[in-house]
């Protein structure tokens, strides 16, 4: 009777496969972000076979987080973000450089995310160059034009911000668009300390989304954020 009543786990809409070369023993944890908390959705014990497989069910294309517990090391290179979507996604990486070596195929959203991250890292590199110049000047007791440096930083920030806006608009038919709006564009208002600094661009992005993307997890989150920002902007205008 018990055997007859046992229910099998329903098949998911995402098959996640991969290999972590060099890994003999450890645990791979897979989580997704709910509100501000990482919620585990699967864990895979690896013992002798570096290949892994997970059958997952996603309500909507979204970022998932892979955390590798090596068991015997304190390495900080143990986490990986994957923009998952229904279908089959394959991950090839290594134990030595879990994040840096990762090759992810099967997700158009993740492909676009990597494209965005590659360009965005150039802006970060320019910011780090300015910081290094400042530190070296102070170290060598040389003059450093702080105002000129701040002006450069501001221009880099604006270029980074506008790149994110244009990227989202150019990929309005993919869930990466509202994700970039939430993770990158929305942050500009926080930096500028004005709630209306990004509302106009966020609203433009949201209205450009295809109906399917607008209904997605990040599409709905974007609508809620815009409504919240509009209320704050109205309050600031009154003050």
List pLDDT tens digits, range 124-154: 999 999 999 999 999 999 999 999 999 999 9
Tell whether 171 and 234 lie within a shared domain: yes
Residue 4 falls inside a structural domain: no
| Model confidence pLDDT, tens digit, residues 7-19 | 455 578 999 999 9
CA 58 to each of CA 9, 12, 19, 31: distance values in angstroms, whole numbers, following the listed order: 14, 8, 22, 11
CA atoms within 13 A on the CB side of 154: 7
Amino acid 74: pLDDT: 59
| Model confidence pLDDT, tens digit, residues 167-176 | 999 999 999 9
Tell whether 115 and 230 lie within a shared domain: yes
Tell whether 153 and 81 lie within a shared domain: no
Q: Tell me which residue range forms the domain holding 84.
A: 12-106
Residue 68 falls inside a structural domain: yes
Tell whether 117 and 90 lie within a shared domain: no
Tell whether 128 and 220 lie within a shared domain: yes
Last residue of a domain, one of 90, 106, 122: 106
Tell whether 185 and 118 lie within a shared domain: yes
Tell whether 82 and 160 lie within a shared domain: no
* Tally of structural domains, the chain: 2
Residue 6 falls inside a structural domain: no
pTM, rounded to two decimals? 0.88
Tell whether 127 and 233 lie within a shared domain: yes
Contact 178, 209 (CB under 8 A): yes
Last residue of a domain, one of 46, 79, 106: 106
Residue 2 falls inside a structural domain: no
Alpha-carbon span 215 to 222, nearest angstrom: 10
Amino acid 75: pLDDT: 65
pLDDT along the chain (239 residues), means of 10: 46 93 93 91 93 95 94 74 97 92 97 97 95 94 93 93 96 98 81 62 96 97 92 76
Amino acid 35: pLDDT: 84
> What six digits make up the tokens of 171?
């990929």
Amino acid 198: pLDDT: 73
Tell whether 24 and 57 lie within a shared domain: yes
CATH code at 39?
2.60.40.180
């Amino acid at each position: 009777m018990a055997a007859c009543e046992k229910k099998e786990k329903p098949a998911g809409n995402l098959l996640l496969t991969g290999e972590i070369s060099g890994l003999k023993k450890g645990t791979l944890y897979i989580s997704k972000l709910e509100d501000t908390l990482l919620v585990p959705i699967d864990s895979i014990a690896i013992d002798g076979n570096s290949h892994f497989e997970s059958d997952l069910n996603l309500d909507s294309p979204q970022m998932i987080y892979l955390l590798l517990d090596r068991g015997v090391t304190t390495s900080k290179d143990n986490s990986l973000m994957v923009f998952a979507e229904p279908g089959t996604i394959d991950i090839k990486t290594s134990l030595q450089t879990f994040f840096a070596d990762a090759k992810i195929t099967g997700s158009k959203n993740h492909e676009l995310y990597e494209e965005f991250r590659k360009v965005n890292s150039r802006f970060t590199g320019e910011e780090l160059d300015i910081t290094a110049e400042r530190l070296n000047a102070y170290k060598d007791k040389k003059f450093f034009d702080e105002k000129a440096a701040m002006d450069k930083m501001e221009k880099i920030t604006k270029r980074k911000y506008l790149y994110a806006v244009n990227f989202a608009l150019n990929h309005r038919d993919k869930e990466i668009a509202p994700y970039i709006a939430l993770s990158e564009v929305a942050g500009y208002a926080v930096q500028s300390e004005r709630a209306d600094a990004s509302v106009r661009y966020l609203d433009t992005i949201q209205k450009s989304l295809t109906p399917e993307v607008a209904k997605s997890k990040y599409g709905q989150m974007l609508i809620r954020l815009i409504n919240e920002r509009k209320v704050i902007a109205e309050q600031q205008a009154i003050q």
